[in-house]
Structure 1
């Protein structure tokens, strides 16, 4: 598995199973802008797998929570890990898959994460702007297919 990020050897990184999705419509990639004031960033929709969820179950849940979009996962296209510090300073290592998905429906009222906003970007813009190298790598791997 490819690993991204430069861990600090003095920190103990929590291994967190996670999953992220790529939805493309009209040539644009669905991304999530997370509002942290001056620390605002862009991610692919997705996140931690809770309890005994499968990647597919977690991905469907995360898309609704972050964007209000219901998706149908199609294919797992990549796997990678990303070591980073969360905005609260917690050291985390996300480990998991990247899936292509198709949008089934969208209901903005279903979104529960108020600091998250759905944005559509040209995939090349997303490559340059995504917070995590693992996310950019997954987009690049998808583009090369």
Structure 2
């Protein structure tokens, strides 16, 4: 069973499964995050996104990282997965997001982000915990930090 984060799904709503792949990307002690400007303000996320029909997870992840950050990456391993039910206005659908999280290293910067309204943010793992919008992403980042003894002196949930 994949753990769910966020609000419980409304059984009266038609939910469409939307698989995605995201990454905790490091360069030295810093993480690379993506910031998307929305009507509600900046939305800080792990780089990644939806896996298109017929696309495998790792090629989708590398494509999304490049589109959102302008960087290449090396993916090392799968860290976990979570589900999140939400309205996706850009696709006009209620999505059951099944988010797979990977660990990787930031590669070369090959250009600016090609996704509209996306910028990059470099920060420490502790800062990322404070800024990430996704509870599931924060949960997996916390586990990753704990496994490395990098809790920054905080009490990890």
- TM-score, normalization by structure 2: 0.84
Deviations 1:51-104 (A, max 9, x none): 222111111000001001111111001111111222456321211311111122
- Contiguous gaps of at least 5 residues in structure 1: none
Determine the structure 2 residue equivalent to 1:11. 13
**What are the equivalent positions in structure 2 for 1:26-105 lying under 5 Å apart?**
26-88=28-90, 90-105=93-108
- Contiguous gaps of at least 5 residues in structure 2: 148-157
Cα distance, 1:9 vs structure 2? 3.2
CA contact (8 A) 1:19 1:48 kept: yes
Count of residue pairs brought into register by the alignment: 144
CA contact (8 A) 1:82 1:133 kept: no
**Per residue, is there more helix in 1 or in 2?**
1
Of structures 1 and 2, the larger Rg is shown by: 2
Give the match's secondary structure for 1:144.
helix
Cα distance, 1:2 vs structure 2? 1.0
> Take 2:33 and 2:89, find their aligned partners in 1: how far apart are those partners?
18
